[in-house]
A and B are shown apart, each in its own frame.
Chain A
Amino acid sequence: MTTQAIAQLDGATIEPSGGVCLHGLVKSYRGPEGPIRAVRGIEVSIAAGETVALLGPNGAGKSTTIDMLLGLSKPDGGTVSVFGRPPREAVDAGLVGAMLQTGGLIRDLSVRELVGMMASLYPDPMDVEEALEVTGLNATGGQRTHKLSGGQTQRVRFALAIVCNPDLLVLDEPTVALDVEGRREFWSIMREFAARGKTVLFATHYLEEADSNADRAILMAHGRIVADGPTTEIKARVGRRTLRATLPDVNQSSLAGLPGVAAAERHGAVVILSCIDSDQSIRALLEQYPAAKDIEITGGSLEDAFLELTGEPDADGPDADKPQPGTR
């Protein structure tokens, strides 16, 4: 089983379809006010070795997508393939490790025992001590699972996900309950593990997590994918840049008329130009107004990109799941 898995993975590095492939996925489930169309036809292909963030507000369909990817729920339509296999087979072969959004630990075992118990279920697990080492739990190994801090619990859950030595690691909002320090620690452990050539898919609604930990971001809203690309490209695609300069005595409307500028504001001596093409704008500005100084150009944040693409703030509203009349 193991050699086969390795062969699959080797093939996958040459041919991207050997990774994760979600094709035409559709899923509805019953809600209190009629059916909720959680996922409405998504196409995703993730190559082996990629680290991908699944980004979207609550109710965008991220967890539903992950459930189907892991074989926890059956899609109403479409197919899931993990390293060329159906999810259940990939899970049984120990190719997939996952940290679900909710999930406590069972009590009355030590951390080492719990990780060992999980390891015992798999055909070719990682050494338990290694899993503890990777997650920084060596010193915590002897502690009972119900006596851990939030950060420690999350690291144990991470150890449980990787102890099968998976090729694909799936994390559903792994840092949601952690403080800043806990998050930083968690992601540094995750990146270290991903660096072993693992494929990683993580869901998050923290934009900065996607920005700093993923090569690629898939943005979901209302059960659909609204953008998919390298995080930098997504920012560049929709993120306007802001050009600030000190430039007194120039009329606002003539600034707004500069090439590449979408809007201009003035605050005293400072002008703020919102640019679609900042390269063009800066050239034109300096040509026409050589007196401009203290020039500063800042990139748009992923947050801005996200707002622009999904057309709504990252809100928890119950309406997020409902069909929106006339959208897309």
Chain B
Amino acid sequence: MNGIAYTRYELLRTFRNRRFFLFSLGFPLIFFWLIAAPQHNKVISGTGLTYATYYMVSLASFGTMMSMISTGARIAGERQAGWTRQLRISPLSVRAYFRAKVLTAYAMALSSLLLLYISGSLLGVSLSAGRWLAMTGLIMVGLLPFAALGILVGHLVNTDSVGPLMGGLVSILAFLGGAWFAITSGFLHAFGQFLPSWWLVQARNVALDGHAWGARGWITVAAWTAILAAGAAWAYRRDTARV
């Protein structure tokens, strides 16, 4: 019951933090325009997708992954400030705390997604309403493992190391997921499919024929969600000792 007002204040705080907001939303957008704009109608060989479509989803994956994992930075900061302990001596449940964090991250992710969709449309990406929705739905589901990862990171590291860790993690995951350039064969192709970021990026294939994930995609995302959620729960319990 008490979580709703708390979530509202969390959202308010996030959207008020102008620098965080601008950087989180700005970078994927700048990347997108730099990469996709010069040749937006050209089809990337082996994918059947135009630069605009391909990089719209790639950078949406990158940006939304960042949004989710930055939950970790916020949690790490609140832990370091001692705020988490203050909340623990209030009736706010752990569940409600994490729910607020995850919902806030999703709000950021949706904002980032919306801006990239608008940019994509301006560069000629045209999909039916159903496909826009399907793509959005897949990305939202594909972000679940990253929501858990954010909480895990937030309880595992301190504020000094959370920045480099997040940057590195997201870059590697985006690269191996095929966000920067198409990985169509070889070891990286085989390996990438075991990663949650691969399937996030695969949401772009909705633009081709309406389908993006087979059973393998769903299973991989579900497995990572379960593993990382268990990890997050472990990290939280380990962390509740006095810092």
Q: Is the CB of B89 within 8 A of A96?
A: yes
Measured between beta carbons, the chain B residues less than 8 angstroms from A103 are: 81-83, 85-86
A70 interface contact, C-beta 8 A: yes
Q: How far does the alpha carbon of A120 sit from the alpha carbon of B96 in the complex, in Å?
A: 13
Docked complex Cα distance between A70 and B90 (Å) = 10
Q: Quick one: closest B residue to A163, CB to CB?
A: B90
Contact check: which of A70, A93, A102 meets B89 at CB < 8 Å? A70
Chain B interfacial positions (CB closer than 8 Å to A): 2, 5-6, 9, 12-14, 16-17, 78, 81-83, 85-86, 88-92, 240-242
- A94 touching B91 in the complex, CB below 8 Å, given contacts A73-B241, A104-B81, A121-B2: yes
Nearest CB of chain A from residue B73's CB, rounded to whole Å: 13
Known: A72-B85, A92-B91, A122-B90. A117 touches B17 (CB 8 A): no
A103 to B82, CA, bound (A): 4
Contact status A107-B13, CB under 8 Å: yes
Q: How many A-B residue pairs have CB under 8 A?
A: 75
Q: In the complex, A67→B242 CA distance in Å?
A: 9
Q: By the criterion CB–CB under 8 Å, are A113 and B12 in contact?
A: yes
Query: A residues within 8 A CB of B89?
Result: 70-72, 91, 96, 98, 100
**Distance (Å) between the CB of B171 and the closest chain A CB?**
27
Which of these, B9, B14, B78, B242, contacts A117 with CB under 8 Å? B9
Contact B90 A109 (CB under 8 A): no
Given A103-B81, A108-B16, A121-B2: 8 more A-B contacts, CB < 8 Å: A72-B242, A73-B242, A93-B91, A103-B82, A107-B13, A108-B12, A121-B92, A122-B2
Q: Which residues of B contact A120 (CB under 8 A)?
A: 2, 5-6, 9
Q: Using Cβ atoms and an 8 Å threshold, which residues of chain A touch B16?
A: 108-109
A100 to B88, CA, bound (A): 11
Query: Is A164's beta carbon under 8 Å from chain B?
Result: yes
In the assembled complex, how far is the CB of residue A185 from the closest CB belonging to chain B, in whole angstroms? 22
- A80-121: contact bitstring with B at CB < 8 Å (1 yes, 0 no)? 000000000001111010101011111111000100111011
Query: Does chain B have a CB within 8 A of A150?
Result: no
Shortest A23–chain B CB gap in Å is 21
Whether A106 lies near B242 (C-beta < 8 A) is no
Residues on A lying within 8 angstroms of B by beta carbon are 29, 63, 67, 70-73, 91-94, 96, 98, 100, 102-109, 113, 116-118, 120-123, 160, 164
* Shortest Cβ distance from residue B119 to the other chain A in the assembled complex, whole angstroms: 27
Q: What are the residues of chain B within 8 A of A123 when measuring CB–CB?
A: 91
Query: Chain A: which residue is nearest B9 at the CB level?
Result: A117
Chain A residues in 8 Å Cβ range of B2? 120-122
Shortest 7 CB-CB contacts between residues of A and residues of B: A104-B81, A120-B5, A103-B82, A102-B82, A108-B13, A117-B9, A92-B91
- On chain B, the residues within 8 Å of A160 by CB distance are 86
A73–B239 Cα distance when bound, in Å, is: 11
Query: Would you give the shortest CB distance from B86 to chain A, in whole angstroms?
Result: 5
